[in-house]
Amino acid sequence: MEKYYMAAMGGADGFGNKSIKKLMDFCKSAKAAWSADIDDLIHAGIMPKALNAFISFRGKHPNAPEKLFSYCERHEFNLCSFLDEDYPPILKELDKDVPPMFFYYRGKLEPLAQRIAIVGSRENTSYGQNVALELGEQLAAVGFTIVSGAARGIDSFAHRGALKSGRTVAVLGCGIEIAFRSYKRKFFEEITENGVVLSEFPPQLPPNQGTFPSRNRVIAGLSRGVIIVEAGKKSGALLTTKYALEYNRDVFAIPGDIYAEKSKGCNELIRAGATLIKSAADVLDEYDIAIPQLKNKSEQSVELKPVKPKPNPTDLEGVAAKVFEIIPSDKFITDDEILMAVEELDPSELPNIMLDLEMKNYIVEEAGRYKRK
């Protein structure tokens, strides 16, 4: 039950990893920390705001550890703490920051896996999509576990590419229950079959501006290196590189069109010293991994090649097939136009259908509008 006492402390707003670690170090156990009196909290160095938040939360939820245990059992969520044997050792290397003291997950942890992150813009171009898919697939094929943030755009394509040939880790910017109740539930379930979905946040916490920097910090902390595929000058993905540099991780960037807004962040990173890569082979060369190990359809080259879309998809059925039929190839169409054209389409199903079509490379999305590729 130790880790459930630890995670229960994290339920207090503002009582984060630093406070938990201080109190754990002082009390020597999570159970004792949960029961600490005010004098112990003060002597442990807990700041007044965090101290008051913890005292208030514990008073309102005295049985929080036991309820959290039952909750995880009921929902089939696992909990990993800093003290567990399966806690990834690489996360403990964050000497400039306190590592996550615990995280919730579903899937299979591989603590000693070699991981590399692939991140980028939510508003990707077809160029960025193809690069993320190809990098994810090829690097996973040689044994890298691909880490990303599970957001739409580059993150999702990196995960999807990795699932074609190996493992992937999705680090959430929300509570894990929120993710598995979202329209991307099937996507997350697919990841858990050959990877893991994890979050350091309370399971029912919705995403907010404060959760994404923490998520990016974990992405960088879990990974040997971080690859930025496509990012504007103000892209949140660039924050991941900031953490990567602080944690002494490698930073790679894909070059882009000098006139393209979504490539300015990557190009600036390269100018500042990030390693320019054009293919998975460049990453393997940096790590002295033999290129012949790379599984590639041509078996002759590992250079990135555009992924050619299927002109006439045959694997679509029912409503999904009808949705695809009305999407034009010469102009963009909106969600409302799709809903008006397909009468039997439930609005709640549309996001999942469009995500699936985009992942299969049948359509392209731009600013919330769609057309065939």
> Do the beta carbons of residue 236 and residue 215 sit within 8 Å?
no
Cα–Cα distance for residue pair 373/228, rounded to 1 Å: 24
Q: Mind spelling out the 3-state secondary structure of 249-298?
A: CEEEECCCCCCCHHHHHHHHHHHHCCEECCEHHHHHHHCCCCHHHCCCCC
Cα 270 to Cα 233: distance, rounded to the nearest angstrom: 13
Q: Are residues 216 and 168 in the same domain?
A: yes
Q: Is residue 91 part of a domain?
A: no
Question: Across residues 12-17, what is the average pLDDT?
Answer: 91
Mean pLDDT score, 202-215: 91
Instruction: Indicate the pLDDT class of residue 367, thresholds 50, 70 and 90.
Output: low
**Mean local confidence (pLDDT), 200-212:** 91
Percentage of residues in the chain with pLDDT exceeding 70? 93
Answer with the one of 258, 276, 293 that is the final residue of a domain: 293
**Domain identity same for 44 and 181:** no
Edge-first strand order for the sheet with 333-334 is 333-334, 369-372, 363-366
Asked whether residue 221 is assigned to any structural domain, the reply reads yes
Q: What percent of the chain has pLDDT over 90?
A: 62
Looking at the structure of the chain, the number of domains it has is 3
Print the domain residue range for 4.
1-71
Residue 35 in domain = yes
pLDDT of residue 298: 35
Same domain, 228 and 330: no
Residue ranges with strand state E in 176-242:
195-199, 225-228
Domain end among 40, 71, 102? 71
Q: What is the pLDDT of residues 137-147, one digit of tens each?
A: 999 999 999 99
What is residue 331's predicted lDDT score, i.e. its pLDDT?
86
pLDDT at 95 over 70: no
Q: What is the mean pLDDT of residues 348-373?
A: 81
| 181 within 8 A of 206, measured Cβ to Cβ | no
How many whole angstroms separate alpha carbon 54 and alpha carbon 10? 9
Residue-wise DSSP of 289-349: --GGGS--TTSS--B--PPPPPSS--S--HHHHHHHHH--SSS-EEHHHHHHH-TT--GGG
Per-residue model confidence (pLDDT) at position 302? 40
Confidence label for 233 from pLDDT (cuts 50, 70 and 90):
confident
Q: Which of 243, 245, 240 is nearest to 272 (CA)?
A: 245
Please give the Cα distance from 221 to 347 (Å, whole number): 38
Q: For residue 84, what pLDDT band results from cuts at 50, 70 and 90?
A: very high
Please, which residues bridge with residue 371 across strands? 364
For range 188-201, the mean pLDDT = 95
Query: Which of 276, 293, 310 finishes a domain?
Result: 293
123 band by pLDDT with thresholds 50, 70 and 90: confident
At 102 the three-state DSSP class reads strand
What's the whole-number mean pLDDT along residues 357-364? 81
Residue type, 29: S
pTM above 0.85, yes or no: no
More confident: 361 or 66: 66
Q: What's the pLDDT score for residue 291?
A: 65
Q: At residue 292, does pLDDT exceed 80? A: no
CA distance 272 to 173: 28
User: Are 87 and 80 spatial neighbours (Cβ–Cβ below 8 Å)?
Assistant: yes
Mean pLDDT across the stretch 70-90? Answer: 95
Q: How far apart are the first and last CA of the chain?
A: 52
Which residue, among 101, 147, 155, 105, has the nearest Cα to 131 in the 3D structure? 155
47 Cβ contact list (under 8 Å, min separation 6): 19
Q: Which tens digits make up the pLDDT trace of 294-335?
A: 444 333 344 444 434 444 566 788 888 889 988 988 888 888
The span from the CA of 21 to the CA of 101, in Å, is 7
Identify whether 279 is part of a domain: yes
DSSP type of residue 98: P
**Tokens at residue 77, please?**
């969520």
